[in-house]
A = this chain, B = another copy of it.
Amino acid sequence: MTTTEGPPRAAGWRWSAALAAALLWLAGVVLAAPVAHAEDGYALWLRYRPRPQAQAEEYRAAATELVAPAATPTQRATRAELLRGLEGLLGAAPVSSAAVSRDGALVVGTPASSKVVAGLRRELAGLGREGYLIRSLRVDGRQATVIAANEDVGVLYGAFHYLRLLQTGRPLRGLDLREAPRVQLRVLNHWDNLDGTVERGYAGASIWDWHKLPDWRDPRYTDYARANASIGINGTVLNNVNSNALVLTPMYLEKVAALAEVFRPYGIRVYLSARFSAPREIGGLPTADPLDPAVRRWWKEKVDEIYRHVPDFGGFLVKANSEGQPGPQDYGRSHADGANMLAEALAPHGGVVMWRAFVYSDEEPEDRAKQAYNEFVPLDGRFAGNVLVQVKNGAIDFQPREPFHPLFGAMPRTPLMMEFQITKEYLGFATHLVYLGPLFEETLRADTHVRGEGSTVAKVVDGSLHGYRLTGMAGVANIGADRNWSGSHFDQANWYAFGRLAWDPEASARDIAEEWARMTFAPDPRVTGPVVEMMMASREAVVDYMTPLGLHHLMGRGHHYGPGPWVEGGPRADWTSVYFHRATRQGIGFDRSTRGSDAVSQYAPPVARLFDDPATTPETLLLWFHHLPWDYRMASGRTLWEELVARYDRGVAQVRRMRATWARLEGLVDAERHAQVAAFLAIQEKEAQWWRDASIAYWQSINGLPLPPGHAPPPRPLEYYKSLEFPHAPGHH
């Protein structure tokens, strides 16, 4: 820049120079303070970062003006999200307009809110309340894109889908998309306590600031609702299933109502975990017997009171007669008696009961895996119409791998909800990179065979197999107050995958990973290629280094953090590891065949036959169903012991590969997130090695076998691994 007078044409250049200086200054501002924390993961997959210039131009031409209603809260939320997204992605928001006036119009609405959409009424048939279509078409002679739905919330879902197209770098021409959820209740379960701790939470404290509610509504609640709506989640259970009756008192109901009000525009209903003994604890009644008229009256009045606070309250989630929680069996009543009492109170308001099937009696059964089935199958058909039974994906407890729960397919007259665990209680907490998409997919695609081949768990859950009137899928949330919500950047993918699979239980875990990686990092194959490969291999890796070949429940007592195959004794045998692995000098594994506990017979005959024979049981589930000698010959030609050791080492090697892959992405991923993921992968490698070493040291102490050649011995004696204690491991409350 110079102050010397120049020839006339230099005037323009001086202007340019001034502008350039301003531009540089502004760039400096951009690169200084605000960006410093921009990639801390808070924005999740809704980052809306600028697209490259060429693509942004193409997109801008397809989104020149926005024709969107703003009369209802949901309409305003939809419109705001589109403006925010397009402004972020394209550098400028489209012009708002009352009607289509130019090419590139984006028209959104319902038949009631948009004349253009009213013309599409016929095409909206079959999309229900939440479905939508996105279509390129001409409106008044102009090129336009329409996001249309029967109800506002469908338009909101469509808007997120539309933004996703831009975020993932998809073309916007010739669009013709139709989407409707295949599952009705797509619900997060927060195991959040009223004191701000989270049971099995690895992302900091609870995001619910009960103390400051209802007066302070943290903007984070709105971002929570946005993120959930973007993946179709339409319900949230605010409090832990190990619940506290106080949440049903007026002081807390006011707080619950404030949250419900924040979530409502985003199509999210609030549910509560109900403590079965609440009539005694806060109602002053001497009993909580579900057949006692005073108890029934108390619940009816309590439910009426809740609906006065939250007119669209979703209903109750209940953990009853399980792990010390109170329940109807305390009064000699059945789970159906208990559920139906609550259902009766909720029915007039349109609420539901989600009754958990994760129960096991105080007396130890011969096989804990069989108990939920034995307890619930006899009750099929006895539950009220607004009750769903919520069943974990497997019969034990969210292990790295379990066969699908035998209840799926076994209760044709009772809507069964799937319960997945998004938080990684048994899979290394937040620091282990484990993408759960393949675990969810494996369960959903499992074939129950109850109505012949193709009777998948997905078809049970979406209701198509048995014609359920209600359908649902629950995910135990991995959300906390950590800046990145989930404790790690990659754990966000598990929240995302849960939502996408709840919307469509037959979606592909790999496609979801690809979509998530494009949004969360960049739609750049140099990044998403390696990232998706890491994600897809990660679940098998954790199975390998923790519980290979169908082993399960081998973690340390209480904290569930590290290895504890030696855990024995204590209050009950089925809380120990030795109960589940049954290792002896001769062999290892839990015999659930017809010769053993006969758990296999809870499956439909074709599945039961498959699992009854070690030769036809998938090796991934071998020791779940069979007790086999250490020298049992595997498909690889190796002995069981050799194979076990090989799997441990394969798991560790895979983590090492993930680290190397991630290291190569330095420079392609922002430094802040790259550093955290790199540090976590280093922890994962160390801990994978720990699991492997501790497990092998223990098995050797039992079987006395030498390590196969080429495998390193554990560097420390077994006593060292047994001596480690973690009284303050997170999430253990």
Contacts and interface: CB of A to CB of B under 8 A. Distances in A.
Interface of A: 8-13, 15-16, 19-20, 22-35, 37-38, 42-43, 47-50, 84, 87-88, 91-92, 194-197, 204-205, 210-212, 215-217, 219, 246, 429-431, 481-483, 672, 675-676, 679-680, 682-683, 686, 727-730
A683 B87 contact: no
Given A37-B37, A728-B195, A87 B32 contact: yes
B429 A211 contact: yes
Given A12-B16, A196-B204, 14 more contacts: A13-B15, A15-B16, A26-B27, A28-B87, A29-B50, A30-B34, A32-B91, A33-B47, A37-B38, A196-B205, A204-B204, A212-B430, A216-B683, A219-B672
A134 to B, nearest CB: 23
Contacts of A43: 33
Contacts of A429: 211
A729 B211 contact: yes
Nearest to A46: B33
A289 to B, nearest CB: 26
Contacts of A12: 9-13, 15-16
Contacts of A482: 481
A92 B216 contact: no
Contacts of A212: 430-431, 683
B42 A37 contact: yes
A9 B43 CA distance: 46
B730 A196 contact: yes
A246 B727 contact: yes
B219 A683 contact: no
B26 A49 contact: no
Nearest to A430: B212
A429 B24 CA distance: 44
Contacts of A672: 219
A316 to B, nearest CB: 21
A25 B32 CA distance: 18
Nearest to A194: B728
A92 B30 CA distance: 11
Contacts of A196: 204-205, 728, 730
A727 B249 CA distance: 13
Contacts of A431: 212, 216
Contacts of A204: 196, 204-205, 481
Contacts of A22: 23
A478 to B, nearest CB: 15
Given A28-B91, A91-B25, A730 B34 contact: no
Contacts of A211: 429, 728-730
A29 B30 contact: yes
A728 B88 contact: no
Nearest to A8: B9
A92 B15 CA distance: 20
A429 B211 CA distance: 10
Contacts of A686: 215
Contacts of A48: 32-33
Contact of A34 (B13, B35, B483, B680): B35
A331 B22 CA distance: 73
A729 B43 CA distance: 30
B216 A680 contact: yes
Nearest to A50: B29
Contacts of A28: 87, 91-92
Contacts of A49: 33
Nearest to A727: B246
A315 B726 CA distance: 25
Residue in A204, A246, A429 with the greatest tally of chain B CB atoms within 10 Å: A204
A12 B19 CA distance: 12
Contacts of A27: 26
A483 B38 CA distance: 14
A33 B88 contact: yes
Given A13-B12, A16-B15, A91 B29 contact: yes
8 contacts: A9-B12, A12-B16, A13-B15, A28-B87, A28-B91, A194-B728, A205-B205, A215-B683
A32 to B, nearest CB: 4
Contacts of A481: 204-205, 481-482
Nearest to A7: B9
List 3 A-B pairs, minimum CB-CB distance, nearest first.
Answer: A12-B12, A19-B19, A34-B38
Contacts of A676: 216
A30 B87 CA distance: 10
A23 B20 CA distance: 9
A215 B679 CA distance: 7
Contacts of A25: 91-92
A31 B92 CA distance: 10
A246 B728 CA distance: 10
Contacts of A19: 16, 19-20, 23
Interface centre among A212, A680, A727 (most CB of B within 10 A): A212
A679 B258 CA distance: 14
Nearest to A26: B26
B84 A32 contact: yes
Contacts of A87: 28, 31-32
Contacts of A9: 8-9, 11-12
A672 B34 CA distance: 14
A608 B226 CA distance: 63
A44 to B, nearest CB: 12
Nearest to A249: B725
A50 B33 CA distance: 9
Contacts of A246: 727-728
Contacts of A31: 87
Contacts of A32: 48, 84, 87-88, 91
A210 B429 CA distance: 14
A215 B215 CA distance: 39
A198 to B, nearest CB: 10
Contacts of A730: 196, 211
Contacts of A13: 12, 15
Q: Which of A30, A33, A212 has the most CB of B within 10 A?
A: A33
Nearest to A207: B204
A202 to B, nearest CB: 8
A3 to B, nearest CB: 15
Nearest to A38: B34
A690 to B, nearest CB: 12
A30 B30 CA distance: 6
A196 B216 CA distance: 24
A50 B25 CA distance: 10
Nearest to A56: B25
Contacts of A15: 12-13, 16
Question: Could you say which of A12, A48, A483 has the most chain B C-beta atoms within 10 Å of its C-beta?
Answer: A12
A12 to B, nearest CB: 2
